A and B are shown apart, each in its own frame.
Chain A
């Protein structure tokens, strides 16, 4: 599903974020990317989203070589297959829960009947069936993250990329969010999650890829944080 082959990413200021990294992730896997700040976790996610391109090496997602995608149609198509969740939720404050989720379908041209069917369905799935008409600032942090997971999943992506999804949440709420991500993974979505959260990694016992200064230093199935 995801393949990084000898990927090196060097930024203009000569900082090397990734140094000859090769990673293979199968369909349906749940993978933690761990490591200290600046170890290359976020750079890896940006490469998968093709927000950046590698300096050397190749990145494949769902069988597609990202270097060969055209900016006008290939990249948008790629991103429709990738759901993304962030530490800061990235919700639109002037839109309701329903509108925040439907926005993701609307801007890729989905028909109204599809939106009216799928949005309540996914919001029910993440446990926000009662809060369709609330605004983000009326929700707790955990609920806001659920909205953003709903938005990431409403188009039924093959892969869910999560960048520190529990970074702003207290431990109990974090556990709830992890249960939800696990649920999303169980229905076949490949999940790649970058995190600092040792307790969560240790509790989940999933595959752990540890990065340090741009290199893979550990790749362990059913691993722990360190």
Chain B
């Protein structure tokens, strides 16, 4: 009886307020879609950065023919440098596994390569990024005509400095995510305003009922819950639409790109899935704030 009462009240409220409720749902939908999109684009850029740089500042590539002793020697040279914080050796299996992970959405790359394709390397993290020059100096590397470093240290094929690329890509990521998050925050605020407005219109349309409810001794909860459910369902409906749209975008836009741009790693279904809880959290946030704002000073006994 109680539950039925609440839902009946909510449904009749939304029907009465049809167009306004529709506006609130749509705004919540666009806001939450942008929010989810922002999260996905961040993820995509992170994937791109990882595929290009492997997320390290400096990579020292090791010749396929180098033996264990040669590799140990390179390792000790690197770790003795004050500029180096960390130098992890990555063998072919690990390099292959990482590539498989990055290019999961682009199977052509994996299919057309064997694990032997991926070079072994030291993945170096710098303690002091300005002291990068210590590394090519210690390994006896000089730039050749193509600006590729040629090294005299046995076993070292070349050294790649990713700092520049990493810095630039991070700057892009930051700008893009800030922009998108800013936009989605503005949209989320609009959603809050619209949802709380719908609630207020609903309460205004039913002010006579509400005044009688108060008069006969209905509790605040009894009066408010239908409106809270109404706000909550509007936000959650918006969230559901946003999620459906994100998945459709994944299937009809992202998946169409797969294979066309070979080097580009793409977001996967699991990435979209991992975004969903946050979209729901944002929806609940919208509903909660809208409820608090919409109810304030209107329904005090």
Contact = CB atoms under 8 A, between A and B. Distances in A.
Interface of A: 49-50, 71-73, 75-82, 84, 90, 92, 103-104, 106-109, 111-112, 151, 155
Given A71-B300, A71-B301, A76-B301, A108 B208 contact: no
Given A108-B222, A112-B1, A79 B211 contact: no
Contacts of A90: 208, 211-212, 215
Contacts of A92: 208-209, 212
Nearest to B211: A90
A71 B300 CA distance: 8
Given A71-B301, A92-B208, A107-B222, A79 B216 contact: yes
Contacts of B220: 71-72, 76
B15 to A, nearest CB: 13
Nearest to B4: A112
Nearest to A77: B217
Contacts of B212: 90, 92, 103-104
A78 B217 contact: yes
Nearest to B223: A107
Q: List 10 A-B pairs, minimum CB-CB distance, nearest first.
A: A79-B217, A80-B217, A107-B218, A104-B216, A76-B217, A76-B219, A107-B213, A71-B301, A75-B301, A84-B215
B123 interface: no
Nearest to B1: A112
**Tier of interface size on chain B:** 20 to 34
A76 B218 contact: yes
Contacts of A107: 213, 216, 218, 222-223
Contacts of A73: 219
B214 to A, nearest CB: 7
B5 interface: yes
B147 interface: no
Contacts of A79: 214-217
Interface in B188-236: 208-209, 211-223
Contacts of A75: 217, 301
A75 B215 CA distance: 10
A81 B214 CA distance: 13
B2 interface: yes
A151 B208 CA distance: 15
28 contacts: A49-B215, A71-B301, A73-B219, A75-B301, A76-B218, A76-B220, A77-B217, A78-B217, A79-B214, A79-B217, A80-B216, A82-B217, A84-B215, A90-B212, A92-B209, A103-B209, A103-B212, A103-B216, A104-B212, A104-B216, A107-B216, A107-B223, A108-B217, A108-B219, A108-B222, A109-B222, A112-B1, A155-B217
Contacts of A77: 217
Interface in B69-86: none
Which has the most chain A C-beta neighbours within 10 Å: B217, B221, B300? B217
Contacts of B300: 71
Nearest to A155: B216
Contacts of A108: 216-219, 222
A108 B213 CA distance: 8
A125 B208 CA distance: 26
A84 B214 CA distance: 11
Contacts of A155: 216-217
A106 B217 contact: no
A71 B222 CA distance: 13
Contacts of A151: 216
Contacts of A104: 212, 216
Given A71-B220, A73-B219, A77-B217, 18 more contacts: A50-B301, A71-B300, A71-B301, A72-B220, A72-B221, A75-B301, A76-B219, A80-B216, A80-B217, A90-B208, A90-B212, A103-B209, A104-B216, A106-B5, A107-B213, A107-B218, A109-B222, A155-B216
Which has the most chain A C-beta neighbours within 10 Å: B211, B213, B218, B301? B301
Contacts of A103: 209, 212, 216
Nearest to B214: A79
